[in-house]
């Protein structure tokens, strides 16, 4: 499979290059040249196959030309060492729980898959350096997904004081091949530093760099597995799918799934107060702006990187996008009310991101429709916030508590490219 750049000014690349480079030379995002439709037989029988087996068929469609089948199956089965169950929150509304992986947030699947694919392509060739900007959850998922993988060094850039204490512990206490960089700025500053590093010729001449943000095809495409698994569990093809969105990697993977024939009625992208995509749907114009801080901080993104992919997937047509995807946006106060109300009525405890998804779905469903929303993080990852909202203690799973016991280590840097560059060259 060849991958082209959304900016159209870089040469096409094979999977190996797309995965090891991350971003194309013209700063565009790589897109597969074609998206294979899965046969009807697959959809008829998906309900009787396991998460791993269905996902392996999806992975085969994306990566089968470039990775031997048995190797790809091994990568998928190692990645999916946990389930993503559907739970009925109330009649007709299901939560697709994506938080049962090692860091209790949905990015584990993409990170674990990418680490294994990168090792497949670069094993034994000397160090490769993974740069990742995080507003909270990406850093922990990527750091844990890559932890201890030989020949790979990981640099996590996070905005000082803007991630939760539990999230911070999940990438600052690991050590080994993981270095945490505390940037005096916002998430957008972190993302800009990473993007600048990828196009700096001198830096790239002296070290091999790649990205593990959802701009990397190996990180975002495997997220399509979730949506096939949801439909397989639901047993119906006409559900509405709602995805709480920040950088739009997760929903973009779902839309790729639709192109592969996945039967979903329509999609809803739920935003917090960072409503650039919501406004795009209203006006047809994409106007990125600096992000604002919210209690659903993994969605605090002012210029969603995967917008370029969605724009391209739909032939640069706002109407075509609107035909498949609607939007919603919620303030912190609305998110808080939703968590409180859902918990009181149903006993189901949402995290602030899932709360946007739940509310957008509940408000968006027409009478008689069924839907599912992605519950993207375990509520205990936002313990202080959620406890304050519901006025009751939230139990912390053992896996999460273990991170809190480690020693925090990070390097403080200004939001300045020259300083970041210098640090990398001497690291």
- Residue 69 CB, shortest distance to ligand PLP, in Å, is 28
- On whether the CB atoms of residues 309 and 336 are closer than 8 A, the answer is no
By CB under 6 A, is residue 134 in contact with ligand PLP?
no
By CB under 6 A, is residue 250 in contact with ligand PLP?
yes
Residue ranges in 259-278 that form contacts with ligand PLP under rule CB under 6 A = none
Considering only 57, 219, 353, 383, the residue that binds ligand PLP (CB under 6 A) is: 353
Rounded Cα–Cα distance for residues 221 and 218 (Å):
6
Stretch that binds ligand PLP, among 184-192, 245-253, 406-414, 418-426 (CB under 6 A): 245-253
If the CB atoms of residues 122 and 329 are measured against ligand PLP, the closer one turns out to be 329
By CB under 6 A, is residue 137 in contact with ligand PLP?
yes
- Residue 299 CB, shortest distance to ligand PLP, in Å, is 5
Residue of minimal Cβ distance to ligand PLP: 137
Stretch that binds ligand PLP, among 125-133, 189-197, 238-246, 341-349 (CB under 6 A): 238-246
Considering only 31, 147, 299, 335, the residue that binds ligand PLP (CB under 6 A) is: 299
By CB under 6 A, is residue 121 in contact with ligand PLP?
no
- Residue 242 CB, shortest distance to ligand PLP, in Å, is 12
Q: What are phi and psi of 302, to 5 degrees?
A: -100, -10
Using a CB cutoff of 8 Å and minimum separation of 24, what contacts does 117-121 make? Answer: 117/19, 117/63, 117/67, 117/75, 117/218, 118/19, 118/20, 118/149, 118/152, 118/210, 118/218, 119/149, 119/150, 119/151, 119/152, 120/67, 120/71, 120/75, 121/15, 121/16, 121/19, 121/20
In the chain, count of helices (H) and strands (E)? Answer: 20, 14
- Residue 315 CB, shortest distance to ligand PLP, in Å, is 22
Integer angstrom CA distances of residue 151 from 14, 116, 219, 360: 22, 12, 19, 43
If the CB atoms of residues 95 and 424 are measured against ligand PLP, the closer one turns out to be 95
- On whether the CB atoms of residues 85 and 97 are closer than 8 A, the answer is yes
Neighbour tally for 385: CB within 10 Å: 21
Considering only 56, 255, 264, 298, the residue that binds ligand PLP (CB under 6 A) is: 298
If the CB atoms of residues 137 and 168 are measured against ligand PLP, the closer one turns out to be 137
- Residue 414 CB, shortest distance to ligand PLP, in Å, is 25
Integer angstrom CA distances of residue 412 from 158, 166, 182, 409: 10, 19, 5, 10
If the CB atoms of residues 233 and 376 are measured against ligand PLP, the closer one turns out to be 376
DSSP structural state of residue 29 = B
Considering only 18, 56, 75, 107, the residue that binds ligand PLP (CB under 6 A) is: 107
Of 324, 215, 353, 182, which is closest to residue 262 (Cα–Cα)? 324
How many residues line the site for ligand PLP (CB under 6 A)? 17
Considering only 4, 248, 280, 403, the residue that binds ligand PLP (CB under 6 A) is: 248
β strands within 44-202, DSSP E = 86-90, 93-97, 128-133, 152-159, 178-184
By CB under 6 A, is residue 109 in contact with ligand PLP?
no
Residues that bind ligand PLP (CB under 6 A): 105, 107, 137-138, 214, 244-250, 298-299, 353, 376-377
């Amino acid at each position: 499979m060849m991958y082209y750049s959304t900016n159209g000014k870089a040469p096409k690349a094979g999977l190996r290059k797309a995965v090891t480079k991350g971003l194309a030379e013209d700063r565009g995002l790589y897109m597969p040249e074609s998206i294979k439709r899965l046969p009807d037989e697959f959809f008829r029988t998906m309900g009787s196959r396991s998460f791993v087996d269905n996902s392996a068929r999806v992975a085969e469609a994306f990566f089968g030309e470039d990775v031997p089948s048995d190797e790809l199956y091994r990568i998928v089965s190692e990645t999916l060492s946990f389930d993503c169950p559907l739970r009925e929150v109330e009649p007709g509304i299901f939560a697709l729980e994506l938080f049962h992986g090692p860091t209790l947030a949905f990015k584990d699947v993409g990170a674990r898959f990418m680490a294994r694919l990168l090792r497949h392509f670069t094993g034994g060739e000397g160090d490769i350096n993974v740069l990742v900007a995080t507003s909270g959850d990406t850093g922990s998922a990527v750091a844990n997904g890559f932890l201890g993988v030989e020949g790979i060094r990981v640099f996590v850039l996070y905005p000082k004081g803007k991630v939760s204490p539990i999230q911070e512990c999940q990438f600052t206490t690991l050590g080994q091949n993981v270095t945490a960089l505390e940037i005096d700025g916002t998430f957008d500053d972190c993302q800009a530093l990473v993007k600048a590093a990828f196009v700096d010729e001198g830096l790239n001449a002296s070290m091999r760099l790649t990205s593990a943000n959802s701009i990397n095809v190996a990180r975002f495409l495997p997220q399509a597995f979730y949506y096939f698994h949801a439909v397989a569990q639901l047993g119906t093809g006409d559900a509405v799918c709602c995805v709480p969105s920040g950088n739009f990697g997760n929903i973009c993977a779902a839309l790729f799934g639709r192109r592969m024939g996945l039967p979903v009625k329509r999609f809803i992208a739920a935003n917090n107060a960072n409503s650039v995509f919501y406004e795009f749907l209203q006006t047809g114009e994409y106007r990125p702006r600096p992000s604002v801080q919210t209690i659903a901080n993994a969605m605090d993104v002012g210029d969603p990187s995967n917008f370029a992919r969605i724009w391209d997937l739909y032939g640069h047509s706002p109407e075509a996008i609107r035909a498949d995807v609607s939007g919603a946006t919620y303030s912190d106060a609305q998110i808080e009310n939703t968590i409180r109300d859902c918990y009181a009525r149903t006993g189901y405890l949402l995290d602030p991101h899932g709360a946007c998804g739940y509310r957008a779905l509940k408000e968006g469903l027409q009478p008689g429709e069924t839907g599912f929303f992605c519950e993207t993080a375990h509520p205990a990852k936002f313990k202080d916030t959620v406890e304050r909202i519901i006025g009751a203690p939230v139990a912390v799973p053992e896996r999460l508590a273990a991170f809190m016991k480690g020693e925090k280590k990070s390097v403080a840097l200004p939001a300045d490219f020259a300083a970041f560059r210098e640090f990398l060259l001497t690291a």
